[in-house]
């Protein structure tokens, strides 16, 4: 019986093992369909999704507005060429600069590319305005992507020697230590780059006083302050951009993940005075690609119209309150985060097992480290979804404790 039910999945998994290059350990399921807060696998089993496509599916899975925008644009123009402007590109650029408080935007397809672009702009600024300065200060435990330069910017200790020789010119300092950052500044520094809440690093926020200090330091030395809001941007933390919580504006802002609602899209935004690239410096075949632009535009409109940042704030507070209540009963500690970028700690080594049990029980959660669980559900989540999620989580903790 079971063999028969799982035969399609079984064949797919065998085929995957044969032909998909191994890069990550994945569970023995195959996702087939998505709608709202749920994903379904090829066995027809449903999963309540608190991974949200890795903080991407802000409007939930396969939202109607995205379907409509994509099919409308696909029947008009799929791709023009990066050598020409196109209409959705200009429209979305206007919308995004309008809501972000920035002046100019460069579009890309992934967060790493947007950050790569920010790194290049910082070096261009160094070359043009700071007598050739090219060093960038970034934070330990930060995450900026998987290209060689963004891996160099990333502050994971075990990435230091990986794929050597990597891109030179990055210094890492501990988070929320202003003196350490000040001490790292040299004549050669052109920018400071950081996430306001470290996502992959386990959901750790920068302090307000620290960020204020970084802003002052950048102003003093003419360095660029770069906020990587690939994960925190587009409503995730309860405001459209996490920098609004601090009231401190960057010189360069990068966005990705939720910006396309699942369609590959990212952006690097900056101020008019840093519109410094010359022809040939930066580009990309899919920069400003019409389908991506239509997707971004539709997602942003829906986000604003339904005030999903506000919902992230409300539901996030509710979820934090409930998790703190549970911490009396279960080994949950250090509940943290803003809006719907949340995490908590479990006993060392238990996070992988806990997420595996949840998967079996029909709940998707993510463990970015051996003792950390991260929750980044779609921003459309309701109190009912959260209650359903907590019920499964409690069941999972009971099974975990029985080991």
Q: Please say which residue, 191 or 357, places its beta carbon nearer to ligand PLP.
A: 191
Does the annotation mark 324 as catalytic? no
By the rule CB under 6 A, 345 interacts with ligand PLP: no
Q: Please say which residue, 39 or 253, places its beta carbon nearer to ligand PLP.
A: 253
* Selected binder of ligand PLP within 145, 250, 261, 377 (CB under 6 A): 145
Provide the minimum distance between the beta carbon of 140 and ligand PLP in the complex, in angstroms, as a whole number.
Answer: 14
Span from 25-33, 65-73, 140-148, 381-389 in contact with ligand PLP (CB under 6 A): 140-148
* Selected binder of ligand PLP within 111, 233, 250, 258 (CB under 6 A): 111
Q: Say which of 49, 228, 251, 345 is annotated catalytic.
A: 228
Residue nearest to ligand PLP (CB): 111
Q: Binding marks (x or -) toward ligand PLP, 192..221, rule CB under 6 A? A: ---x---xx---------------------
Does the annotation mark 143 as catalytic? yes
By the rule CB under 6 A, 227 interacts with ligand PLP: no
d(CA 379, CA 273): 34
Provide the minimum distance between the beta carbon of 78 and ligand PLP in the complex, in angstroms, as a whole number.
Answer: 22
* Selected binder of ligand PLP within 48, 230, 234, 240 (CB under 6 A): 230
* Selected binder of ligand PLP within 228, 302, 313, 345 (CB under 6 A): 228
- The residues in 58-87 that bind ligand PLP, with binding defined as CB under 6 A, are none
Do 267 and 255 contact (CB within 8 A), yes or no? yes
* Selected binder of ligand PLP within 58, 73, 115, 287 (CB under 6 A): 115
Does the annotation mark 239 as catalytic? no
Q: What are the C-alpha distances in Å from 33 to residues 38, 40, 42, 61?
A: 9, 5, 8, 8
Q: Please say which residue, 60 or 256, places its beta carbon nearer to ligand PLP.
A: 256
Do 162 and 145 contact (CB within 8 A), yes or no? no
Span from 109-117, 157-165, 182-190, 352-360 in contact with ligand PLP (CB under 6 A): 109-117
Write the secondary structure of the chain as one string of H (helix), E (strand) and C (coil): CHHHHCHHHHHHHHHHHHHCCCCCCCCCCCEEEEEECEEEECCCCEEEECCHHHHCCCCCECCHHHHHHHHHHHCCCCCCCCCCCCHHHHHHHHHHHHHHCCCEEEEECCHHHHHHHHHHHHHHHHHHHCCCCCEEEEECCCCCCCCHHHHHHCCCHHHCCCCCCCCCCEEEECCCCHHHHHHHCCCCEEEEEECCEECCCCCEECCHHHHHHHHHHHHHHCCEEEEECCCCCCCCCCCCCCHHHHCCCCCEEEECHHHHECECCEEEEECHHHCCCCCCCCCCCCCCCHHHHHHHHHHHHHHHHCCHHHHHHHHHHHHHHHHHHHCCCCCCEEEEEECCEEEEECCCCCHHHHHHHHHHCCEECEEEECCEEEECCCCCCCHHHHHHHHHHHHHHHHHHHCC
By the rule CB under 6 A, 144 interacts with ligand PLP: yes
By the rule CB under 6 A, 231 interacts with ligand PLP: yes
- Count of residues that interact with ligand PLP, criterion CB under 6 A: 15
Span from 76-84, 120-128, 228-236, 344-352 in contact with ligand PLP (CB under 6 A): 228-236
Span from 90-98, 182-190, 223-231, 387-395 in contact with ligand PLP (CB under 6 A): 223-231
Do 367 and 196 contact (CB within 8 A), yes or no? no
Joined tokens for residue 15: 């085929």
Span from 44-52, 107-115, 130-138, 346-354 in contact with ligand PLP (CB under 6 A): 107-115
Q: Please say which residue, 375 or 393, places its beta carbon nearer to ligand PLP.
A: 375
Residue 52: closest CA among 386, 370, 365? 365
By the rule CB under 6 A, 53 interacts with ligand PLP: no
Provide the minimum distance between the beta carbon of 210 and ligand PLP in the complex, in angstroms, as a whole number.
Answer: 18
**Which are the catalytic amino acids?**
143, 228, 257
- The binding site for ligand PLP (CB under 6 A) comprises 110-112, 115, 143-145, 195, 199-200, 228, 230-231, 256-257
């Amino acid at each position: 019986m079971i063999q028969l039910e799982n035969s399609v999945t079984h064949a797919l998994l065998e085929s995957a093992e044969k032909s998909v290059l191994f890069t990550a350990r994945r569970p023995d399921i195959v996702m087939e369909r998505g709608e709202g807060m749920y994903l379904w696998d090829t066995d027809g089993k449903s999963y309540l999704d608190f991974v949200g496509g890795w903080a991407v599916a802000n409007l939930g899975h396969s939202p109607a507005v995205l379907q409509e925008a994509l099919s409308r644009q696909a029947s008009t123009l799929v791709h023009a060429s990066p050598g020409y402007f196109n209409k959705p590109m200009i429209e979305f650029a206007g919308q995004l600069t309008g809501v972000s408080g920035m002046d100019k935007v460069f579009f890309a397809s992934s967060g790493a590319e947007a950050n790569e672009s920010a790194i290049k702009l910082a070096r261009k600024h160094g070359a043009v305005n700071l007598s050739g300065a090219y060093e960038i200060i970034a934070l330990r435990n930060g995450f900026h992507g998987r290209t060689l330069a963004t891996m160099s910017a990333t502050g994971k200790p075990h990435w230091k020697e990986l794929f050597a020789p990597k891109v030179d010119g990055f210094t890492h300092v501990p988070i929320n230590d202003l003196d350490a950052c000040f001490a790292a500044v040299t004549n050669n520094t052109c920018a400071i780059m950081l996430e306001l809440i470290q996502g992959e690093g386990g959901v750790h926020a920068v302090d307000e006083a620290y960020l204020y200090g970084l802003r002052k330091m950048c102003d003093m030395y003419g360095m660029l302050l770069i906020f990587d809001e690939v994960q925190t941007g587009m409503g995730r933390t309860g405001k459209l951009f996490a920098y609004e919580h601090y009231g401190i504006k960057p010189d360069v802002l990068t966005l990705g993940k939720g910006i396309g609602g699942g369609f590959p899209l990212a952006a690097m935004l900056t101020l008019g005075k840093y519109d410094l690239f010359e022809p040939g410096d930066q580009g990309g075949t899919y920069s400003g690609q019409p389908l991506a632009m239509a997707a971004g535009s539709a997602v942003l409109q829906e986000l604003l119209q339904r005030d999903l940042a506000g919902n992230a704030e409300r539901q996030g507070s509710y979820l934090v309150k409930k998790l703190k209540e549970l911490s009396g009963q279960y080994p949950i500690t250090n509940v943290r985060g803003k809006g719907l970028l949340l995490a908590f700690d479990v006993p060392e080594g238990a996070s992988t097992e806990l997420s595996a049990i949840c998967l079996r029980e029909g709940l998707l959660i993510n463990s970015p480290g051996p003792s950390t669980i991260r929750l980044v559900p779609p921003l459309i989540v309701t109190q009912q979804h959260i209650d359903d999620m907590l019920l499964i989580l409690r069941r999972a903790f009971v099974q975990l404790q029985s080991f």
